[in-house]
Amino acid sequence: MYNKVILVGNLTRDIELRYAQSGSAIAKTAIATSRKFTLNGEKKEETCFVDITFFGRSGEVANQYLRKGSKILVEGRLQFEQWVDQTSGQKRSKHSVIVETMQMLDSRSDSGSQGNNNEYSDGGNSGYGGGYNAAPAPKPAYTPPPSYSKPAPVRMPENNLPEIDINEDEIPF
């Protein structure tokens, strides 16, 4: 079976960062996505709110650079959660997304961050192993070979692309 979700939207609240007993980070927030469409000649917009969870280093990175309103692309898997409400005693449930990869879409001047590459993947360590105490897998350290040298900078060609007038209402995302 295949379970993959890709969402682009804005965070609806600041990130809540906690740490499991094992020391692994758990960060929770929510994302709002919208869809514009026309129904019977009337323009409408539909918004969907989805809870998202980051594990490990990606949670710490998200907490450091993202705030309520930040635009982000997340890729992950859908998870069904069930619990009993403490106040009413009723069974409750919801779907949420476990984030495996994220890409920050705000410009660097908007986010206030400097020098980040706006893309982060936890290398598959967001494995929610049935409990928050799942220990993250060790990440191998990368050491460049001794003969590694920085390549000479390449001069980019002038931008000779034509300017295109696009109506934002016609963009499907």
The CATH number covering residue 81 comes to 2.40.50.140
- Cβ contact 76:98 at 8 Å: yes
On whether residue 47 sits in a domain, the answer given is yes
Question: Does a structural domain hold residue 127?
Answer: yes
Instruction: Tell me whether residue 169 is in a domain.
Output: no
Write out the two tokens for 103.
């890409």
Q: How confident is the model at residue 117 (pLDDT cuts 50, 70, 90)?
A: very low
Per-residue pLDDT at 132: 37
Tell which wins on pLDDT, 124 or 172. Answer: 172
The pTM for the full model equals 0.62
Q: Which residue has the higher pLDDT, 4 or 131?
A: 4
Q: How confident is the model at residue 160 (pLDDT cuts 50, 70, 90)?
A: low
140-156 pLDDT, tens digit each? 455 555 555 555 555 55
Q: How far apart are CA 56 and CA 136, in angstroms?
A: 7
